[in-house]
Amino acid sequence: MSRFSKVLFVILVVVLSVGSLVSAQGEMRPYRIVVVTHGQASDPFWSVVKRGVDQAAADMRVTVEYQAPSTFDMVAMSQLIDAAVATDPDGLVVSIPDPDALGPSIQAAVAAGIPVISINSGSDVAEEFGVLAHIGQTEYEAGYGGGKRMAAAGATKALCVNQEVGNIGLDLRCQGFTDAMAEAGGTVEVLAVDLADPTGTTNRVAAALSADESIDAILTLGPTGASPTLLALEQEGLLGEVLLATFDLSPEVLEAVRDGNMLFAIDQQQYTQGYLPIVYLTLFLENLNTPGNILIPTGPGFVTQETAAQVIALSEAGTR
């Protein structure tokens, strides 16, 4: 074989080897992970979680199924978890808004040998249930931090607008907010509204403001509560006068913060709540890697008028 032929042969071997490596790297891994949360992918918050799930599935080359009940229904959610467990997935990701209702189903999954990671709500029960890790923020502390900021801005009497009373994570947010306000001499009233009825939420907030003119601050627990509340304040001529803050981000929330119509938004970085559990479960399944701590915090962070503009483009892209 001539030197030129040998060089061609070596090049051909290298090209074929690289091509084989790239092909192997592009192959799907043989893992199927089921994600069951209490939030629908159409919700502005949970749509970002699902984008994180989908991107991680693509990056890790695993099959992922995202499921949620059509409404906040813990019986339906526990049934979804049971049904997922019955299909013997390689991994399971769950949110835990109601530990009493969902605990038996989650513990049954762990007992069946299915690795489980919890996200979003349930940080206080994750270890007890035997999950590998919980990815999210501690809700009470986040609400408490919001209360401290609100009180420092001059709030004395506030509403905590809760769109899912009974969701332990949301209840803890209101409790932390209430405790921080109380320490500063303020008071908080929890106003229950219906997640599926934004017009009703606007009317309830407007009615509460009309009934008590001493209310000078409002905390909502997500964009689905923030948007109707912004409308209520506008209708009552109180936009910019009553202090307003919210949990979680959306383009409308960020614009309100940027424009000074909202004091701050508490960011739990929900994209990472969808992305990270898929990565961790893949690493566990393939290499028996485990997180170094049961709690992997994704928040809280506070987006203010000074930082809102920087986050708007990311939110519009669906990752914040």
Arithmetic mean of pLDDT over the chain: 90
| pLDDT per residue as tens digits for the range 88-108 | 999 999 999 999 999 999 999
Residue 280, pLDDT > 50, answer yes
Residue 10 lies in a domain: no
Separation of alpha carbons 138 and 5, rounded Å: 65
Q: Are residues 104 and 143 in the same domain?
A: no
Q: Which residue has the higher pLDDT, 317 or 82?
A: 82
| pLDDT per residue as tens digits for the range 143-184 | 999 999 999 999 999 999 999 898 888 999 999 999 999 999
Residue 2, pLDDT > 60, answer no
Residue 248 lies in a domain: yes
Q: Are residues 158 and 232 in the same domain?
A: yes
Q: Domains in the chain: how many in total? A: 2
Residue 215, pLDDT > 90, answer yes
Q: Are residues 112 and 164 in the same domain?
A: no
Alpha helices in 164-300 (DSSP H): 168-183, 198-211, 223-235, 251-258, 270-287
Pairing of strands 243-247, 264-267: parallel
pTM: predicted TM-score of the whole model, two decimal places: 0.77
pLDDT of residue 196: 87
Q: Are residues 145 and 250 in the same domain?
A: yes
- 288 Cβ contact partners less than 8 Å away, ≥ 6 residues apart: none
| pLDDT per residue as tens digits for the range 9-55 | 333 333 333 333 333 467 999 999 999 999 988 888 899 999 999 99
CA triple 170-316-65, angle to 5 deg: 60
Residue 168 lies in a domain: yes
**Which of 93, 78, 169 shows the shortest CA–CA distance to 131?**
93
Q: Are residues 97 and 182 in the same domain?
A: no
| pLDDT per residue as tens digits for the range 299-310 | 999 999 999 999
Q: Are residues 60 and 143 in the same domain?
A: no
Q: Are residues 64 and 157 in the same domain?
A: no
pLDDT of residue 263: 97
Q: Are residues 261 and 148 in the same domain?
A: yes
We report the CATH number of the domain holding residue 204 as 3.40.50.2300
pLDDT of residue 20: 36
Q: Are residues 229 and 252 in the same domain?
A: yes
Q: Are residues 118 and 152 in the same domain?
A: no
**Which of 282, 268, 18, 14 shows the shortest CA–CA distance to 132?**
282
Residue 88 lies in a domain: yes
Q: Are residues 159 and 112 in the same domain?
A: no
Q: Are residues 250 and 148 in the same domain?
A: yes
Domain that holds residue 84: 32-137+269-289
| pLDDT per residue as tens digits for the range 49-60 | 999 999 999 999
Question: Do the beta carbons of residue 223 and residue 268 sit within 8 Å?
Answer: no
pLDDT of residue 168: 85
Point out the least confidently predicted range of 11-20, 105-114, 274-283: 11-20
Residue 91 lies in a domain: yes
pLDDT of residue 26: 77
**Which of 266, 320, 269 shows the shortest CA–CA distance to 296?**
269
pLDDT of residue 25: 60
